[in-house]
Amino acid sequence: MQLISAVVFSAVVSGCFGQNETFPTWFLFGAATAAYQIEGGWNAGDKGESMWDRLLHSTNDITLDSSNADVACDSYHLWKRDIEVAKELGLNVYRFSISWPRILPSGFPNQVSEDGKKYYSNLIDGLLEKGIQPVVTMYHWDLPQSLQDLGGWANPLIATWFGDYARVLYNLFGDRVKYWITLNEPLAICDGGYNKMAAPYLDDMKIGGYLCNKHVLLAHAAAYRVYEKEFQSLYYGKLSMANVFFWFKPEKTTDEEATKLAIQMWEGRYAHPIYSESGGWPPELEKILAENSKKEGYPYPRLPPFTPEEIEFVKGTYDFYALNHYTTRLVRKVDPEKAGSWPYYGCKEIGVDFVNHPTWKTAVIDWFAIYPEGLREQLLWINNTYGVDQVMITENGYPDLNDDLFDVQRMTYIKTMLQQVFLAINDGIHVMGYTVWSMMDNFEWVTGYKTKYGLYAVDFLSPNLTRTPRESARFYSSVTKGRRIPKYRVLVDYEDV
């Protein structure tokens, strides 16, 4: 058996920096987590029940390891250690989410939890004391069950409810939080939640999923307009909605039009209404979905049209583009009847499949192809398509299935992605920051605790849920503290045992 010496590798990583890959002083290095995935304390104090609580307490066959997040990383109690981890990593920003039912136990602002208020206030103050800016996500998938019982994201009133929730957050924390994310990955909220891949775990993409599409955009806009009208002149913060946007390239030249349509289906549904000059749904996509609805016998489009007033309400509700990027896929045009269901329902609507390039390596997840150049290509596309002034990469990370502390694949992934970010900045694109998913191992939704994304390993069997830095954490902290990408090569020291 042969072992690789992490000591030798670490010395090389930490000791040799590139001379021409220095990030600007304004560039923000960050890492991210989410409330349901790390907090635990699911019924602590007066916290309300979330739809993930209800789902995973009702059945144990949703997750790969039959687990739930009742305890998770226990950040509800160990938040001081999380701040220490963020400091050890040298972060400029820490992105975390607020649990809607922890702040508003009923889902509505009739009762604001003092316990929840204290928890998040302590976390924010603790970060600021260490010189770390909070990037706060208002919604990372843990809807109050009370609102799900009323229809959740399929109920048009949820836009108003979300605006009310956002106002509470601004009143509580707006004086200290300068970066807000309204919703994380609306594609996952809707196309996952209504295609039996995430809570509320419904099989209703044709109707409920597309209602959700419209309502998450109206909810985002409601939160943005509340801040714009009532808080912007007080706190001068910046807001956005985080889109998960895998980059797409055609498998063959004959797939170029299908690729453009796939980009609109994946990203345009959630970005075109906000960032484009015209607003509303992407026209070509709206036309195809209306035609599909008509062929299926529906008297109205399954993707609900925006009214002119709604188009104006949503359009322009951003201060930067928030991008969650993980991978690049090749697009292949196929018969809609033969299209797969991943990623989510959209493949069947537009007749595409996604495949891996034969020369690209993949992570342990088969769809997770590694093509770092795709990030830069994607940033160029965003810039050319929408002309946004600033882009923040709000998630980017690498999955694994083991607890190995010597995670060379994750280090290589982060390094090559950062190189592409640096090149994009040199292209003239104002990439304002880069955020690793995730700061530490956590509950990864339907994969439970099997999938590891963390810079820090978490021992979920230890009483204190010990956080231990991986080599990727040491590497990333050398980047954040030196503001340069280390030039390194892997020196392998073999020992026979």
DSSP string, 377-428: HHHHHHHHHH--S-EEEEE----BSS--S--HHHHHHHHHHHHHHHHHHHTT
250 has which bridge partners?
331
Q: Is the peptide bond before 146 cis (omega within 30 degrees of 0)?
A: no
**List of the chain residues with pLDDT < 70:** 1-20, 341-345, 488-497
| Residues facing 440 on adjacent strands | 456
Residues pairing with 435 in the sheet: 30
**Residue 395 annotated among the catalytic residues of the structure:** yes
Q: Which residues contact 393 (CB under 8 A, 6 or more apart)?
A: 323, 324, 325, 375, 421, 431, 433, 434, 435
Contacts (Cβ under 8 Å, ≥6 apart) of 427: 376, 379, 380
Distance between CA atoms of residues 470 and 456, nearest Å: 5
Q: Is-catalytic flag, 312? A: no
Q: Where are the domains of the chain?
A: 2-325+371-496
**Do you know the residue count of the chain?**
497
Residue 468 β-bridge partners? 457
β-bridge mates for residue 135, sequence order:
95, 179
Burial (Cβ within 10 Å: 0-12, 13-18, ≥19) of residue 335: exposed
Which residues, 6+ apart, have CB-to-CB distance to 142 below 8 Å?
Answer: 35, 36, 50, 51, 52, 53, 97, 99, 100, 101
Hey, which residues does 321 pair with through a beta bridge? Answer: 391
- What's the Rg (C-alpha) of the chain? 22
CA–CA separation, 359 and 222 (whole Å): 45
> Three-class SS of residue 79?
helix
Catalytic-labelled residue, pool 286, 395, 444, 471: 395
Long-range CB pairs of 267-272 (<8 Å, 24+ gap) are 267/243, 269/187, 269/213, 270/186, 270/187, 270/213, 270/216, 270/217, 270/241, 270/243, 271/243, 271/245, 271/321, 271/386
Here the tokens at position 453 are 């994304």
pLDDT confidence of residue 2: 32
Return d(Cα 467, Cα 303) in angstroms, integer.
44
Instruction: Measure the CA–CA gap between 186 and 75, rounded to whole angstroms.
Output: 25
The CA-atom distances, in angstroms, between 134 and each of 125, 158, 201, 351 are: 9, 26, 31, 41
Task: In whole angstroms, give the CA distance from residue 159 to residue 396.
Answer: 28
pLDDT of the residue at 489: 54
pLDDT at 343: 57
pTM of the model: 0.94
Helix axes 408-426, 373-386, angle to 10 degrees: 30
Q: Which CATH superfamily is domain 2-325+371-496 in?
A: Glycosidases (3.20.20.80)
pLDDT in tens, 473-487: 999 999 999 999 987
Cβ-proximal residues to 200 (8 Å cutoff; 6+ apart), any chain: 51, 55, 143, 148, 152, 193, 194
Q: Which two tokens stand for residue 428?
A: 């003239």
In the 8-state DSSP scheme, what is residue 485?
E
Exactly one of 49, 185, 349, 471 is catalytic; name it.
185
Separation CA 188–CA 197 (nearest Å): 8
Q: In the structure encoding, which two tokens stand for residue 251, read together?
A: 């498998």
- Largest CA-CA distance found in the chain, in angstroms, rounded: 71
Give the pLDDT of residue 366: 87
- Residues 16 and 9: their CA atoms lie apart, in Å, by 12
Q: Which two tokens stand for residue 364?
A: 């342990």
pLDDT at 348: 86
In our burial notation (b when 16+ CB lie closer than 10 A, e otherwise), range 92-101 reads bbbbbbbbbb
Count of beta carbons in the 10 Å neighbourhood of residue 380: 15
Say if CB 205 and CB 191 are below 8 A apart.
yes
